[in-house]
Amino acid sequence: MRLRAEAHAEAPWLHFDDDVYTWGQALGQVRRAANGLLELGVEPGQRIALMLSNRPEFLWVHFGADLMGATSVAINTAQRGAALRHILADSGAVLVVADTAVVPAIQAVANELPAPIRIVSAERSGDAPDTTLEALLSAPDREPPAPVQGNWRPAPSITYTSGTTGPPKGVVSVARAGGNGYSGLPAVLASTGVGPGEVMYTPLPLFHGNALGLTVMGSMMLDCQVALGRRFSASRHFDECRRYGAVEFNTLGGMISMLLKVPERHDDADNPVRVVASAGCPTWAWEPFQTRFGVRLVEWFGMVDAPGFLLNDVGRVGSMGRPVGDVEFSVFDDTGRPLGPGEVGELVFRGPGGPATAYHNNPEATERAYAGGWFHTGDLAEQDDEGYFYYRGRKKESMRRRGENISAWEVESVVNTHPAVAESAAHGVPADLGEDDVKVVVVLRPGEALNPEDLLDHCRGKMAYYAVPRYVEVIDQLPKTGTQRPNYGALKQRGLTPETWDREAVGYEVQRD
């Protein structure tokens, strides 16, 4: 950002609603945020949490923390209860900047944290936060007087990603760009064809790696503009692109399916978008999407957990692509043996410089993830004779609903606190729009009965809204493995049964809270 501001401070960079921020104005706001954090007592090396929905202030504070030597911890604004408490405690955040609406959720777990945490609210409210964003950003626009000693510098961010059977894990970069997988990112960005001064649009949340890493950081690398939407709306999406003159946007998960379900318009292809960078476009939707909206799809694969990219910029329908940069990809069986073309196994990759990331406070998880020097993705894949990879599902006991990763643990840890529940297991079932819907199978305590709506009432506010199960089924006992863990494979094979209750079928709605 500093380099762009020095080159052309008056050039526009960020669009949000009707507001436009130049590179120079953006840098000024980042400096204000850095000084505001220092005035609140944040010290270099400490961590601050961000629990903000899409708004420019997210970027000011995120980059401001890095400027003054602190680490930013982005948290999904939908997190609640045990998962939120774990993230705040595990990260050791000393301060959290949050949407006013989520302040009560933070206060609800604050007394259970190992150390006090200060709260900066987006607006003034009756909940008596320590201060507000307005006050934070009223600090002087000047270089922060907080020199970082020596050559050591903390990681600029910790990104929490849902675990598979445990609490969310914090991903920390332990090796900066160069020789560890980040070299593939320029190739992914270059494949979009976005040029200097053009506009990339994202309605994806900034607390996810896609919007912050590919679009925001990508705009700095490409010297282009960013239009930031408040949230994804299939019915308004292309009108937003028209509004800002966006030539590119990214999609995740079921977004393409949702856009195709919007009633057709005569001007669907009359939009400025040239290319869509997709992660997980369904094979059936590829050509209809390109034809209807007059765009070109570029498919890619990447993870928050570790740097390494596959890229398909040649229009090979259904493929995640081939490796780009200096990372090697392969497919392994359960014994760690490489598989040949056409064989399905776990997708793994490694960079020449060794592990580029680690899980914060979790060396065991880091060791498992990088077993044998390869990062194990937990995704199933196969490759063809030309080295193109194809996604074949997930190996890990996790779910993905409308672009959000959901661990079985974060569902089960709440369901199991219901007084009628003895134990439970959550798993994904195929959703109509692709990815998963969440099903939870429960075993009741002796003599208890359960109304599924009462169970979902119990879940609301204690977990992210998108994790609240769609399906509930009561059974006598859970299938178990030899180590007495739920047999998720057997449950997925069982799928939906005549005894499965469906909240959508009865009109039970889960609102964002």
pLDDT of residue 181: 60
If you search the block for the tokens 């889960």, which residue do you land on?
510
pLDDT of residue 361: 94
Spell out the residues 6+ positions from residue 314 whose beta carbon is closer than 8 angstroms to its own: none
- 52 within 8 A of 95, measured Cβ to Cβ: no
pLDDT of residue 334: 86
**Which residues of the chain form CATH 3.40.50.12780?**
182-394
Sheet holding 246-252, edge to edge: 19-22, 12-16, 225-228, 199-202, 246-252, 275-279, 296-301, 309-312, 322-324
Q: Residue 140 is encoded by which pair of tokens?
A: 């002087």
Cα distances (angstroms) measured from residue 447 to each of 6, 294, 408, 441, 508: 71, 60, 26, 18, 26
Rg for the chain, CA atoms, rounded: 23
- 390 within 8 A of 320, measured Cβ to Cβ: yes
289-317: pLDDT as tens digits = 999 999 999 999 999 899 999 999 999 99
pLDDT of residue 482: 55
Class of domain 25-142: alpha beta
147-202: pLDDT as tens digits = 554 444 566 789 998 655 578 899 998 854 444 567 889 999 999 999 999 999 99
Beta strands in 244-342 (DSSP E): 246-252, 275-279, 296-301, 309-312, 322-324, 328-332
**Which residues of the chain form CATH 3.40.50.980?**
25-142
Q: Cβ–Cβ contacts within 10 Å for residue 51, how many?
A: 29
Averaged pLDDT, groups of 10, the chain, 513 residues long: 93 98 98 96 95 97 95 93 94 96 94 95 77 95 72 72 74 65 87 97 93 95 97 95 98 86 94 96 91 98 93 96 95 94 94 91 94 92 95 75 79 90 90 87 91 94 91 92 72 92 92 73
Beta strands in 207-295 (DSSP E): 225-228, 246-252, 275-279
The overall longest dimension of the chain from CA atoms, in Å, is: 72
Cα distances (angstroms) measured from residue 68 to each of 3, 29, 46, 61, 160: 17, 13, 10, 10, 22
pLDDT of residue 151: 47
Cα dihedral 420/423/428/430 (nearest 10) = -60
Q: Residue 157 is encoded by which pair of tokens?
A: 């961010």
Distance (Å, whole) CA 208 – CA 357: 17
pLDDT of residue 161: 84
- End-to-end, the C-alpha distance of the chain in Å comes to 34
The architecture of the domain spanning 399-502 is 2-Layer Sandwich (3.30)
Q: Residue 466 is encoded by which pair of tokens?
A: 């998108």
| DSSP class per residue in 447-498 | T----HHHHHHHHBTTB-GGGS-SEEEE-SS--B-TTS-B-HHHHHHH-S-T
pLDDT of residue 149: 46
Distance (Å, whole) CA 73 – CA 66: 11
**Which residues of the chain form CATH 3.30.300.30?**
399-502
Three-class DSSP category at 402: coil
Q: Residue 238 is encoded by which pair of tokens?
A: 């292309």
CATH of 182-394, one of 1.20.1260.120, 3.40.1190.20, 3.10.20.90, 3.40.50.12780: 3.40.50.12780
Distance (Å, whole) CA 71 – CA 44: 8
Q: Among residues 292, 290, 294, 284, which one has the least CA distance to residue 254? A: 284
Q: Among residues 444, 413, 406, which one has the least CA distance to residue 427? A: 406
pLDDT of residue 513: 66
Beta strands in 148-256 (DSSP E): 157-161, 169-173, 199-202, 225-228, 246-252
